[in-house]
Amino acid sequence: MCENKNALEKEMDEKQKVLEKEIDLIQGCINRMAQNSFVVKGWLITLVTVVLALFPERVNINILCYVIIIVTIAFWYLDGFFLKMEKLYRWKYEWVIHNRKENDKYKYDLNPYNSNMWQNLKGDNTLKEPCVIKIMFTKTLVPLYGLILALAIFVLINAHFEFVNIIKIGTTP
């Protein structure tokens, strides 16, 4: 009887260690996706600053605006992609928390696209893969990327029609 109890405790301890390790692996993926999203924002700000440093006299303003628009859209997409992946890993994390003690199916499966392992905080298992474009237009991303795009488009349109006279830095009247 005592041996069965010890064997059962040992098995439970082993399952708990496996659960903790799997949770740690998924949490590492979530952290990496969040870090990637943060780094993308930093790189965008850096690149836009470098492009604006060239603004006054060295390069045609139209080319600068087109570069800013293209770079902003590319980084916006990357940021949306990383946030999508973070969301998928969060669903996987919830699934593991709720289902790992019941079964060992998909043990250590870190594929974020395995929809059999998606579960949100409400316990909903019928989740659909989020669209990167929808994530790009969330309230957290639109202010940063939308503002940069709007300013670049405004400067580009203004360069063609001269609605507003932009003061050139470094020139004397």
How many residues are there in the chain? Answer: 173
Find the mean pLDDT for residues 59-70: 86
Task: Write out pLDDT tens, residues 82-102.
Answer: 999 999 999 888 888 888 777
- Cβ proximity of 96 and 104 under 8 Å: no
Q: For residues 74 and 80, what is the distance between their CA atoms, to the nearest angstrom?
A: 10
What pTM value is reported for the model? 0.81
Residue 1: what pLDDT? Answer: 56
